[in-house]
Amino acid sequence: MLRGRSLSVTSLSGLPRWEVEELPVEELLLFEVAWEVTNRVGGIYTVIQTKAKTTADEWGDNYFLIGPYFEHNMKTQVEQCEPVNDAVRRAVDAMNKHGCQVHFGRWLIEGSPYVVLFDIGYSAWNLDRWKGDLWEACSVGIPYHDREANDMLIFGSLTAWFLKESFSVSQAGVQGLDLSSLQAPQLVKCVILFCLCRRASVSKCFNIDKEAGERQIYHRYCMERASVHCAHVFTTVSEITAIEAEHMLKRKPDVVTPNGLNVKKFSAVHEFQNLHAMYKARIQDFVRGHFYGHLDFDLEKTLFLFIAGRYEFSNKGADIFLESLSRLNFLLRMHKSDVTVVVFFIMPAKTNNFNVETLKGQAVRKQLWDIAHSVKEKFGKKLYDALLRGEIPDMNNILDRDDLTIMKRAIFSTQRQSLPPVTTHNMIDDSTDPILSTIRRIGLFNNRTDRVKVILHPEFLSSTSPLLPMDYEEFVRGCHLGVFPSYYEPWGYTPAECTVMGIPSVTTNLSGFGCFMQGHVADPTAYGIYIVDRRFRSPDDSCNQLTQFLYGFCKQSRRQRIIQRNRTERLSDLLDWRYLGRYYQHARHLTLSRAFPDKFHVELTSPPTTEGFKYPRPSSVPPSPSGSQASSPQSSDVEDEVEDERYDEEKEAERDRLNIKSPFALSHVPHGKKKLHGEYKN
């Protein structure tokens, strides 16, 4: 008797429900294979970790993740236990008896999925034999010095061995172990970054074999291409990577599976706005210390922008971002704007230690706070005593000479002879660092006259840091805009995380996230998603477009930014795994139908599609320079009142929900007609 488990996707703020026929999940096992299972390396870790709950809700205890074993990760993330499934238990025991080390347990994340972890080093003695098998099977050789490729071969061979043992056990009497429930094989990890292939027009004449050979990664390319062509179903994360895969791997992806997040809504609609205000105040405290002695700008009219990610200067768009900041600084100074922009670069690099001047700044800020608090206590006591006596205190006598001396000394301590540093740490290779070299070239040295200030924080954020004691999520919530003008970004979790937190962001049409939003939102800019065209425009034109986006954002009033954040946060439903998980469901169903066409069937005319499904343009005037801005950088109070009368958030949100169309063309099943066991239509 099959377990009753609904595969429908709950309607998320008006998003359509998607009903599919239930799979006999008790008769199937789902294995998901990835190098980043319990092993944080990059964005794939976030994909697997956040998607686990949705998949575990669907498959229950028949869902298994396969990854590499690392002792530290095992101790801190996995609770060891014995396999409940007979096939899996016998496969683990068989491999351990043959000289492998296979670990089993529950991953301590949401959903608590089972994990099977292979000790790569313990099985390295089989490497030469497996290299020979790979050569005999597909004539691909792996150099001995390529440790990553060797590790992938060991990992892939151990995974194949495990599945073979499980399959042989099922043939002996355990029914229903279905290897076709594996998604597109990821037994080999191959990273090919060919930025020359970013434009479709270039990729058509791009000799991938020649370029891979010159970069000495031809064997990796061959392994990835072989994996792709051997898979029943080939998936990729975005439309932009689908274009790349078709040209580079010579196969068009069957299903595009966008990355999602576990979106948690607040009970109070505006709670995320309150969090923004709270964490913005903490960033302002850091800025007060960092710019002590040069704090001649109004923090209430200061915008905080940031870029975060791996230190890939060109791929992550730091080059075009810095150039656009130089042009933005010129525009703000030319128009005599009273808006100041502080930009954070959160990109880890090699450093010696904290910058002494930066540490001193935070110490000076704390000292001034303590002095002000002490004087306030004395002032408050004198004021309280005077009021008890029924007197109005003499303001000339309420502060004595010692108080004035202390305050004067505090003011003198804020004087500095040097400019505020552009980096919070001592860089190991300061002279050749790409970001610092570009800052020197464009002249953004945090001068008093500069309206754009730059701070490079070459370390991941942590709540235990003595400089900026904030976690990444807290920091993002406190900023006004995330800027990610990437030239290479298969998906882009950083702008997606900003969207979920209600923070506007800049992305590009060469990122998976940007393409996804273009396909789902009629006017992304009105919803706080600024998409820079880096695919069809020249670098200089893209830089000008980014500059205009930033300048338009600086011209918004506070009221307009609040409205935009409300709209941005409403897009978070699109990024919820409860919605995006359907693409993975379809990929699994399609795999079963191709591997076992006599038992499972999927109508080829009804794959998941997003045609006709878009958030419409907001009914009120969008907070963009073209539609609702004054010529001056700061809108007047009268403009705010007019905007307040025109904008009704609840009505606009309800209108968004009513206007959403169904993204799926579902087949109609006549009433009274039942489907055979194992037959379903998507």
Delimit the domains of the chain by residue range: 16-171, 359-417
The β-bridge relationship of strands 351-354 and 340-346 is unpaired
Q: What confidence tens digit (pLDDT) does each residue in 526-576 have?
A: 999 999 999 999 999 999 999 999 999 999 999 999 999 999 998 998 999
**453 CB contacts (<8 Å, ≥6 apart)?**
291, 340, 341, 342, 343, 420, 444, 446
Structural tokens at position 256: 């595009």
% of the chain exceeding 90 in pLDDT: 57
* Number of Cβ atoms within 10 Å of the Cβ of 651: 11
Residue 665 has pLDDT above 80, yes or no: no
According to the model, what pLDDT value does residue 679 have? Answer: 39
pLDDT tens digit string along 288-345?
999 999 999 999 999 999 999 999 999 999 999 999 999 999 999 999 999 999 999 9
Q: What is the pLDDT of residues 255-278, one digit of tens each?
A: 999 999 988 876 666 788 999 999
Query: 570 exposed, middle or buried (CB, 10 Å; 0-12, 13-18, 19+)?
Result: buried
The confidence score (pLDDT) of residue 7 equals 30
Band of pLDDT at residue 410, cut at 50, 70 and 90: confident
Q: Look up residue 103 and give its amino acid.
A: H
* Residue 615: other Cβ atoms inside 10 A: 23
Q: Edge to edge, what strands does the sheet with 63-68 contain?
A: 30-33, 63-68, 114-118, 102-107, 78-80
Q: Which of 517, 515, 476 is nearest to 498 (CA)?
A: 476
Nearest-angstrom CA–CA distance, 510 and 512: 7
Nearest to 150 by CA among 184, 121, 193: 121
DSSP codes of every residue in 543-558: HHHHHHHHHHHHT--H
Contacts of 414 (CB under 8 A, 6+ apart): 292, 293, 364, 368
Residue ranges of alpha helices (H) inside 430-486 are: 434-442, 472-478
Q: How far apart are CA 250 and CA 218, in angstroms?
A: 15
Give residue 681's pLDDT band: very low, low, confident or very high (50, 70, 90): very low
pLDDT at 598: 87
Mean pLDDT for 625-634 is 40
User: Average pLDDT for residues 505-514, to the nearest whole number?
Assistant: 96
The verdict on domain 16-171 having CATH code 3.40.50.2000 is: yes
User: Quick count: other Cβ atoms within 10 Å of Cβ 540?
Assistant: 10
Q: For residues 457 and 462, give the distance between their C-alpha atoms in angstroms, rounded to a whole number.
A: 12
- Minimum mean pLDDT among 156-165, 276-285, 392-401, 459-468: which range? 392-401
Report which residue type is found at 491. W
Question: Which letter does DSSP use for residue 631 in this model?
Answer: S
Phi and psi (nearest 5°) for 218?
Answer: -65, -35
Which position has the higher pLDDT, 596 or 278?
A: 278
